[in-house]
Chain A
Amino acid sequence: MSLDPRAGEQTRTIYEKSVAGRRAFTAPECDVPEIAVEDLLPDWARRTEPAALPEVSEPEIVRHFNGLSKRNFDLDTGFYPLGSCTMKHNPKLHERVAALPGHARLHPLQDPEYAQGALELMFNLQSALGEIAGLPHVSLQPSAGSHGELAGLLVTRAYHEDRGERRTKVLTPDTAHGTNPATVTMAGYEVVKVGTAPDGGVDVDDLRAKATDEVACLMLTNPNTLGLFDSNIEEIAAIVHGVGATLYYDGANLNAVMGISRPGDMGFDIVHFNLHKSFTQPHGGGGPGAGPIAVSDRIEPFLPRPQVVRAASDNGHGPRFDLDFDRPQSIGKLRGFQGNFGVFVRSYAYIRSLGAEGLREASETAVLNANYLRALLAAPEIAEHLPVAFDRTCMHEFVLSGSGAKEQLGIRTLDIAKRMLDHGVHPPTVYFPLLVDEALMIEPTETETKETLDEFAQIVADILAEAAEDPEIARNAPYTTPVRRLDEAGAAKNPVVRQPAATDS
């Protein structure tokens, strides 16, 4: 047994801890006749060998997963400036209210008459999101941002087909999130890239050249993935609408503009929200999220079904809420049931906690924090190695280029990121957007204190100063994490994606 505290015990899987005969589950007593399974299921249907699940006791399960949890870094533990991911505080109240039995134990097919509280919550959330987007009609159904994008392109297709038009192309900026082009293909369109102008915005001349009547949609993020607000947005909208296409807003960056500027007022036709970004749903290590969409009047008939609707009372009591399936032009369902309701509860609680003023202040503070950190990182000893990619006032995030550090110090962005792990902070998003060499994309969010931002800037300065002395330290980082750099190429070459089948029984 190794004495290294990072080796041994912690890396055994639950299957490797399995001992035949151990168990945690006690089945409820069988209170109905114990008819032999062979008499109820024909031979061809019966499983002969049980699934090789682990055999472990409850205390062992608890220790196993608690042990694993300690090998994760998380937002409640430290600074997480992961660009484009909006790692803002996840209020604890939300977990409590989401767990109320009236929410958590409500069956999705409960008759609407017996689910009025849930439907009212969804209706209120739809209304609030519509107001924030400046687009009145909301479908809560999509499960995440990428699902919302797909919904957006499918309603675009339905809109054009309804007009007897067949369009084949969708424009995306070369700074777009990877989900945008992937969605375009899944929705049956061809991706056409639009260039970026020297100021970081859409290259309007390039857009004009590519905007033809074959184009169905332009997918845009504003502020964009460089953290810059595109002040040509009205001209862009006019060009897109001029050829009959729709303008789609990727809401990944909505946290910059809540209550300040609305996508609908900018000319967008369709918006998706990432409730797990701007609206505090915890990320869960990779989900769950939710990706509602808001649309304009002309797109409304094509929204997924069912829609939550409010009807006037028929008995003198309050309004009555219902699910409307009778939507003949709808694109149909995108998933089962009504969407990720547990996420809606949390986001609704957030919106009711903050109100109009609080949401605006959240965005203002997010932008203040980002610009403050940008200013701190513009200190000459940092900026000479990590210059900001576009030297403008940013919105909620900004992008540095590590090209200087690579040339002058011999360390890459990856090395800087890995060295940050030893300092107890999560690194920014790295190597995105693609058009910035050795990119570091930093989004501090509104929930961080000035002191945290000061400390982060100091960490960056320390890492660069250390590398000037000895670049090997960063090149071999991290040192203090549960494991060090992992062989990702080897993992992909010979994929081991499950525990080998156990030999004992």
Chain B
Amino acid sequence: MSRYTSATDADRRAMLATIGAGSVDELFAEIPASVRLDRPLDLPAGMAEQDVAGHLAELAARNVDCDAETSFLGAGMYDHYVPALIDSILQRSEFLTPYTPYQPEISQGGLQVMFEYQTAISELTGLAVSNASVYEGPSAVAAAAYLAKLETRRTGLVVSRGVHPHSRETLATHAVGYGMTVSEAGLDAVGATDVDALAGLVGDDTAAVFVQQPNFLGTVEELGAIGEAAKRTGALFVVAADPIPLGILEPPGALGADICVGEGQTLGNRLDFGGPSFGFFAAAERFIRKLPGRIAGETRDVDGRRGFVLTLQTREQHIRREKATHNICTAQALNALAGTIYLSWLGRRGLVELGELLLRRTHYARETLGLEAINPGPVVREFAVRVPDLDAAVQRARAAGINPGYRLGRDYPELGDGLLVALTERRTRADIDRLAAVLGGVREEAPA
């Protein structure tokens, strides 16, 4: 028998007798011989558990993770500390192994987590309603475009070049299916969205306008002004946000955003080489029946006890089929649970304290590096600089055990010498000073 099955030869005989079949092979008689595989799959032979563990450990050892170097890489996922209680709670089988809660009477734990998660996301974004998670950040941006299509029946999408390049590309990929076209508004001389250029692209057929807060370069965008330009013709204003800086930044909902989406990795999720994490999706109240995916709602049972259910399911694919508000089924419940625990751990004050620490470290790092800033205005958690002879600087850094950040040239050809440097609470002043030394910048002494 294979590793995870239990049928003994005696079981098989007894079961086949009950079925009335002579062999297991007979059960597959309806598969025509012409489409049967007449050889074993060409795969390596199975291995004992300890050998699999050894093989996976060998592969893992060939990666340079964030414990193995001092990493200033960000650009969409960030090396935040994940508290131990998240690991402990996420490994509870009652959270790890159930399916989507189709039977609410035996799924109250998961459903209440969704309700608490939705509350936290509403609070962070300043928007009335949140769903229970979508896949991840960039596809959440694409999901917002689909809502805008259903809501406005228009076909134009305007996106700032300050939005993550992966989000823009994902939006363009999905827009082909939606029958929509995407136009991009450039950045101004200080690395913020060029509001005039964006306003010039917004027309009567614009379904939605997308910006990111802080933007890909770390610039704090002036959402109020952008929103005004965006909504002039009735387009929806969509903000993609990093949730941690929202602890100190005015929430998008308070600045006119109709929808706020984003990548949830920073909320208590591992880096995991890019996933799984979760995407969040919050919107103004009037869109509640157009949201994608699962939503938990509060109700009562027949005895009057408080309980939670999946609600407004007539939006969803399993009920509405081709008229559904999205095709999403399996989302990211476990990752959203990590986010819910993380936000409870930080709490009302901790989120602000963390945001302020990031703000100060970002400022300190930009000043200390002493390099030409691409975005000299307000920044949180990330900033972009021009590095003379970037190739050599990166090599020096790597030789010193430092990953200095993300090179901007692939996504912004005009910034071929640009480096995007990310901070988290794990990158200390000493780390920043080492980075400054190796990049060859002039370190400014901080005032005593």
Contact = CB atoms under 8 A, between A and B. Distances in A.
B94 A46 contact: no
B305 to A, nearest CB: 5
Interface in A277-306: 282-290, 304
Given A72-B94, A115-B273, A371 B19 contact: yes
Interface stretch (A240-248, A257-265, A458-466): A257-265
A421 interface: yes
A335 B102 CA distance: 27
A354 B47 CA distance: 7
Given A51-B246, A286-B333, A481-B105, A108 B360 contact: no
Given A102-B65, A106-B65, A24 B345 contact: yes
A349 interface: yes
A362 interface: yes
Contact of A357 (B46, B88, B99): B46
B301 interface: yes
Interface in B324-364: 324, 326-335, 337, 340-341, 343-354, 356-357, 359-361, 363-364
Given A332-B170, A355-B47, A146 B317 contact: yes
A261 B273 contact: no
Nearest to B164: A336
Interface string A189-217: 00100000000000000000000000000
A1 interface: no
Interface string A61-89: 11011111111111111001010010111
Contacts of A287: 100, 133, 135, 276, 278, 330-335
A365 interface: yes
Nearest to A23: B347
B212 interface: no
Interface in B354-386: 354, 356-357, 359-361, 363-364, 378, 380
Interface string A100-119: 11111111111000111110
A331 B173 contact: yes
Interface in B80-101: 83, 85, 87-89, 91-101
Interface residues of B, number: 208
B193 to A, nearest CB: 14
B166 to A, nearest CB: 4
A485 to B, nearest CB: 5
A345 B343 CA distance: 27
Nearest to A484: B301
A408 interface: no
A72 B337 CA distance: 14
A497 B288 contact: yes
A48 B274 CA distance: 33
A205 B178 CA distance: 32
A61 B294 CA distance: 24
B273 A337 contact: yes
13 contacts: A33-B360, A68-B108, A73-B94, A103-B63, A116-B62, A188-B178, A233-B32, A285-B99, A287-B333, A426-B99, A481-B106, A484-B305, A496-B299
A109 B105 contact: no
Point out which of A34, A101, A359, A446 has the most chain B C-beta atoms below 10 A from its C-beta. A101
A41 B276 CA distance: 32
Contacts of B32: 231, 233-234
Give the top 4 A-B pairs by smallest Cβ distance, nearest first: A102-B60, A337-B274, A284-B334, A355-B46
Contact of B77 (A108, A393, A487, A499): A108
B166 A498 contact: no
Interface in A229-276: 229, 231, 233-234, 257-262, 265-266, 274, 276
A450 interface: yes
B298 A496 contact: yes
Contact of A114 (B16, B31, B64, B357): B64
Contacts of A42: 378
B67 to A, nearest CB: 5
Given A349-B52, A352-B44, A486-B307, A103 B60 contact: yes
B313 interface: yes
B75 interface: yes
Contacts of B207: none
Nearest to A32: B364
A470 B431 CA distance: 72
A282 B97 contact: yes
Interface stretch (A11-19, A381-389, A399-407): A11-19
A144 B100 CA distance: 13
A282 B96 contact: yes
Contact of B75 (A37, A109, A355): A109
B139 interface: yes
Interface in A34-59: 34-35, 37, 40-42, 44-48, 50-56, 58
Interface string A126-146: 001001101000000001111
Given A47-B249, A106-B272, A331-B173, A72 B95 contact: yes
A11 B116 CA distance: 12
A349 to B, nearest CB: 5
Nearest to A233: B35
Contacts of B129: 497-498
A371 B271 contact: no
A437 interface: no
A5 to B, nearest CB: 12
B130 A498 contact: yes
Contacts of A159: none
A14 B301 contact: no
Contacts of A496: 297-299
Interface string A328-371: 00011111111111110100110111111111111011011101
Contact of B120 (A53, A77, A345): A53
B132 A286 contact: yes
Contact of A116 (B7, B63, B306): B63
A257 B31 contact: yes
A178 B321 contact: yes
Nearest to A90: B97
A332 B173 contact: yes
B301 A483 contact: yes
Nearest to B132: A286
A285 B314 CA distance: 20
A259 B37 contact: yes
Given A229-B31, A486-B105, A45 B37 contact: no
A284 B327 contact: no
A178 B319 contact: yes
Interface in A448-505: 448-450, 476, 478, 481-488, 490-492, 495-499
A145 B324 CA distance: 16
Nearest to A263: B35
Contacts of A289: 330
A392 interface: yes
Nearest to B99: A283
Contact of B99 (A286, A340, A491): A286
Interface stretch (B22-30, B183-191, B231-239): B22-30
Contacts of A45: 220, 222, 249-250, 378
Given A80-B98, A144-B135, A497-B129, 11 more contacts: A11-B307, A31-B429, A103-B65, A108-B76, A115-B63, A116-B62, A146-B328, A284-B95, A285-B334, A362-B5, A492-B314
Contact of B334 (A25, A51, A233, A288): A288
A71 B109 contact: yes
Nearest to B41: A356
Given A339-B275, A362-B5, A485-B302, A333 B170 contact: yes
B152 interface: no
A60 B250 CA distance: 29
B112 A71 contact: yes
Contacts of B306: 11, 483
A28 interface: yes
B341 to A, nearest CB: 6
A452 B420 CA distance: 56
Interface in B42-69: 42-47, 49, 52-53, 55-68
Contact of B97 (A50, A75, A105, A339): A75
